[in-house]
A and B are shown apart, each in its own frame.
Chain A
Amino acid sequence: GNSVTQMEGPVTLSEEAFLTINCTYTATGYPSLFWYVQYPGEGLQLLLKATKADDKGSNKGFEATYRKETTSFHLEKGSVQVSDSAVYFCARNTGGFKTIFGAGTRLFVKA
């Protein structure tokens, strides 16, 4: 079937630690892949995207590389900040316009 699976949270890190949030997908065809972020008290917003294999999306120090061979789109950041505390959602669409989201991973960053 078509789905998005991401690591369960919460993830708790100290400031300046390295972050990885795993995401894998199943889909027919060649989906576009996204990471959305929901900061406390705010709506979801796009963090980054990649539209084809080997593309790397990046924004605000976050990166994710579209890996077709492993059907993965893991989110990484080299040095997290307290302000990165949020819920992160991996998502995909496939040609059409229905975007499917993972369950979300809550990140807590301690000072």
Chain B
Amino acid sequence: GAGVSQSPSNKVTEKGKDVELRCDPISGHTALYWYRQSLGQGLEFLIYFQGNSAPDKSGLPSDRFSAERTGGSVSTLTIQRTQQEDSAVYLCASSLGQSSYNSPLHFGNGTRLTVT
């Protein structure tokens, strides 16, 4: 079946512009995560959605970052007034969620964001 799909795969933007990154999780997965992978760094947790519960936003680095998940499926990560330090690969993952909390994360191939 289809895996986690992210778009665009690459995004180059000018400093100060807003960007939107999209994630289509695996059908039936109730949990959705956003991570950021900077060069030479591990995966930095950003935000987590589980069903209709309030999202865990504890990893968002600043108020320029926000995310929403419409209809319990597609998610959009928005970065306002981008800065050069926002350059990274943004990864989305989904999992079965609360019904099986040890279920693995299924990752998309990521969006490589470059802020010039």
Contacts and interface: CB of A to CB of B under 8 A. Distances in A.
Interface of A: 4, 32, 34, 36, 42-46, 49, 51, 89, 93, 95-104
Nearest to A47: B104
Interface of B: 3-4, 31, 33, 35, 40-43, 45, 48, 50, 56, 58-59, 91, 93, 95, 97-98, 101-102, 104-110
Contacts of B98: 97
B104 A103 contact: no
22 contacts: A36-B105, A43-B3, A43-B110, A44-B43, A44-B105, A45-B107, A46-B104, A46-B105, A89-B43, A93-B102, A95-B101, A97-B31, A97-B33, A97-B50, A97-B97, A97-B101, A99-B105, A100-B45, A101-B35, A103-B40, A103-B42, A104-B43
B102 A32 contact: yes
Contact of A43 (B4, B59, B97): B4
B4 A49 contact: no
Nearest to B110: A43
Nearest to B3: A43
Nearest to B56: A98
Contact of B109 (A4, A32, A42): A42
A101 B42 contact: yes
A95 B56 CA distance: 14
A102 to B, nearest CB: 5
B101 A93 contact: yes
A103 B48 CA distance: 20
Nearest to A101: B43
